[in-house]
């Protein structure tokens, strides 16, 4: 059973809305396959909270196990070690979550933000409403708006 997490903000606008976060590391857009174990260990709890619709930070122990979390994998964070298998497991969790919610396009979008980063970079604007908008550095085109906590 999949959740339909994505919504169109306005039926004719083509603007997508999702509760799941964009991939960021060190304050910039990131590709899932370029993130380190430490970065993913910081990201996964935020992703789980977003997946469950938790608006405020909640201790990990108080979060219910998401439906998409693998049954054979204990529901805990952070992981106990820093190995290649740990990295693979964390990447798998992110992919599983985004697939469950029908939001694989967000992972692709983040990868494209990294691979197609303009020479002028990105410009960020705090909207003073709990969100930040990210613009193309040279054209000024709005690319995405996200929760401040995401960055």
Query: Tokens 């122990």, residue?
Result: 61
- Both 32 and 53 in a single domain? yes
- In this structure, the answer to whether residues 31 and 88 fall within a common structural domain is yes
Joined tokens for residue 68: 């998409």
100 and 78 part of one domain: yes
Model's pTM, two decimal places? Answer: 0.83
Q: Of residues 74 and 2, which shows the higher confidence score?
A: 74
Residue 55 sits in the same domain as residue 113: yes
Whether residue 143 is predicted with pLDDT greater than 80 in this model: the reply is yes
Q: What is the pLDDT of residue 79?
A: 62
Q: Are residues 75 and 147 in the same domain?
A: no
Residues 104 and 136 in one domain: no
Determine the pLDDT at residue 4. 45
Residue 30, in any domain of the structure: yes
- In the chain, count H helices and then E strands: 3, 7
Q: Is residue 27 included in any domain, yes or no?
A: yes
Do 58 and 49 meet the contact criterion of CB atoms below 8 Å apart? yes
User: Are 134 and 122 spatial neighbours (Cβ–Cβ below 8 Å)?
Assistant: yes
pLDDT at residue 99 greater than cutoff 90: yes
* 101 exposure class (CB count in 10 Å sphere: 0-12, 13-18, 19+): buried
How far apart are alpha carbons 6 and 9 in whole angstroms? Answer: 9
Largest CA distance in the chain: 47
Residues 133 and 110 in one domain: no
Same-domain status, 126 and 58: no
* Cβ atoms of residues 8 and 16 within 8 Å: yes
For 4-53, what is each residue's pLDDT tens digit? 444 444 444 555 567 899 999 888 999 999 999 999 999 999 999 999 99
Does 129 lie in the same domain as 101? no
Q: Is 78 inside a domain boundary?
A: yes
Same-domain pairing of 82 and 101: yes
More confident: 4 or 136: 136
Tell whether 79 is covered by a domain.
yes
pLDDT at 76: 86
Per the structure, how many domains does the chain have? Answer: 2
Domain that holds residue 40: 7-117
pLDDT, tens digit, 9 for 90 and up, residues 45-98? 999 999 999 888 888 889 999 999 999 988 987 665 666 688 999 999 999 999
């Amino acid at each position: 059973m999949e959740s339909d997490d994505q919504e169109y903000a306005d039926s004719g606008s083509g603007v997508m809305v999702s509760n799941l976060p964009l991939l960021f590391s060190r304050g910039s857009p990131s590709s899932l396959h370029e993130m380190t174990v430490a970065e993913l260990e910081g990201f996964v709890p935020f992703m789980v909270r977003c997946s469950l619709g938790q608006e405020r930070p909640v201790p990990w122990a108080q979060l219910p196990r998401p439906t998409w979390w693998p049954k054979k994998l204990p529901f805990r964070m952070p992981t106990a070690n820093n190995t290649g298998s740990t990295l693979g497991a964390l990447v798998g969790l992110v992919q599983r979550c985004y697939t469950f919610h029908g939001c694989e396009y967000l992972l692709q979008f983040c990868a494209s933000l990294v691979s197609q980063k303009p020479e002028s970079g990105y410009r960020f604007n705090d909207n003073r409403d709990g969100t930040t908008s990210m613009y193309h550095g040279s054209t000024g085109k709005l690319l995405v708006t996200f929760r401040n906590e995401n960055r």
